[in-house]
Amino acid sequence: MKDMTCKLLVVGAGPGGYVCAIRAGQLGLDTVIVESDALGGTCLNVGCIPSKALIHAADEFHKLRLAAGGHSSIGIRVASPEIDFPYTIAWKNTLVERLNLGVSGLLKRAGVKTIKGWSTFRDGKTVEVTTEIGVQVIRAEFIVIATGSCSVELPNLPFGGLVISSTEALALDAVPSSMAVIGGGYIGLELGTAFAKLGSHVTVVEVAEKVLPQYDGELVRPVISRLDEIGVAVLTGAKAIGLSANGDGIDVEVNGVRRMVAVDKILVTVGRQPAVDGWGLEILDLDRDGQFIHIDDQCRTSMRGVFAIGDVSGQPMLAHRAMAQGEMVADILAGMKRSWDKVAVPAVCFTDPEIVDVGLSPKQAADLGIQAVSMQFPFQANGRAMTTEREDGFVRIVAREDNHLVLGVQAVGANVSELSTAFSLCLEMGARMEDVAATIHVHPTKGEAFQEVALRTLGHALHI
């Protein structure tokens, strides 16, 4: 095959990679993007999008099951509901396919050439791509590494048979009657909660002393209460030893006592690691931060002309961080003056209830030596929450004590993920509590709790 040359080569078409390529194409840069799998990467194909589709289906089914059991407080009564799980999975797949086609169309419209194949680096300017019809050599002035991440595999519980990753969990053809979830982080609890609502008997095994250890206790407490409500068993301070002797479950050690949990599936969700193996990256000898590729505030690596974005470049490993990095790098390559100056990268845990975390928590502010004030406003005092039968949770604000600059906003509650943009905008705009309090919030909405918590922290709450 004839060698290709281009201005920019993007390796990996996940959220960071395809956004970088689209923006570069819009800016007139001769751009090529290479992807060995489907466009959209883990997030679109086997992560963010399909998991949220499954969570939505589980929520809807759970509501019907409650109504069938006479537990609807708003008068809905139904006969015994059933779920056609293969149909649900097919529906999920159609959403993924639509988005795949959308990404393909956007790349084409931006003038980006897409090549399907596996990339291997020859040097910092040259990549070999193994395609279905042969090896394509591409030389580029600039290269962006956007290879993403992959699930961490436990040596004592290798994937296969009963043991599955989140990828396989999202492609099951039937709802398991029972499931052990190894790892009580956000991926494990999101999927574990969904399968519990679909009818599985779910047991979460977490080695730490609490689930969701990256969040503070106030935010996690409503989630733990809800897990208990829907029948999810949670074992903390527990270690997964391996498959049981007869292969029909998992051996777990809890507080020094060994026990066997019989399950149909074992979902391992102990984290993700950067995808740095198999690409020939060792040839480039890039500086590392642990497993991650080291970057500066412009996503530049230690090799001139080579950039890294997304999960491969460090924490937080979030799609929207990758997208923002990809857009920034394209602008830089087009001659604009850009650098990473974000105040905060918002994070959302799509459990039930959801958790939003933007900026500093009260403890983080204190650890930095900042004199801060912080209060909560409960959804029990919010009219919209009452009308949707979900009054659990709250919004919390953290601000400097001296000038009231908002340093962080957190929330836990049903559908609070939709408030995350307002929280992030508040921090990026340098808002003070007075700005939030003086902004008219639509009534009745859960967003009113944001205004109310600002008012309460300022000392003149209206609805509590």
Q: What amino acid positions are annotated as catalytic residues?
A: 443
**How many angstroms separate the CA atoms of 88 and 66, rounded?**
20
DSSP state of 281: G
**How many angstroms separate the CA atoms of 321 and 333, rounded?**
19
Cβ(148)–Cβ(310) under 8 Å? yes
Q: Which two tokens stand for residue 295?
A: 């970057």
**How many angstroms separate the CA atoms of 429 and 361, rounded?**
18
Cβ(346)–Cβ(358) under 8 Å? yes
**How many angstroms separate the CA atoms of 426 and 406, rounded?**
7
The backbone region for 257, taken as left when phi is positive above 0, alpha when psi lies in -120 to 50, beta otherwise, is: beta
Q: Which two tokens stand for residue 394?
A: 């709250």
Residue 253, phi then psi, degrees to nearest 5 = -110, 120
Q: Which two tokens stand for residue 2?
A: 């004839």
Specify which residues 187 forms β-bridges with: none
**How many angstroms separate the CA atoms of 164 and 188, rounded?**
12
**How many angstroms separate the CA atoms of 346 and 351, rounded?**
16
Measured CA to CA in angstroms, residue 450 lies from 81, 178, 402, 444 at distances of 37, 39, 20, 13
3-state secondary structure of 394: strand
Q: Which two tokens stand for residue 223?
A: 């989630």
DSSP secondary structure string for all residues of 180-236: EEE--SHHHHHHHHHHHHHT-EEEEEESSSSSSTTS-HHHHHHHHHHHHHTT-EEEE
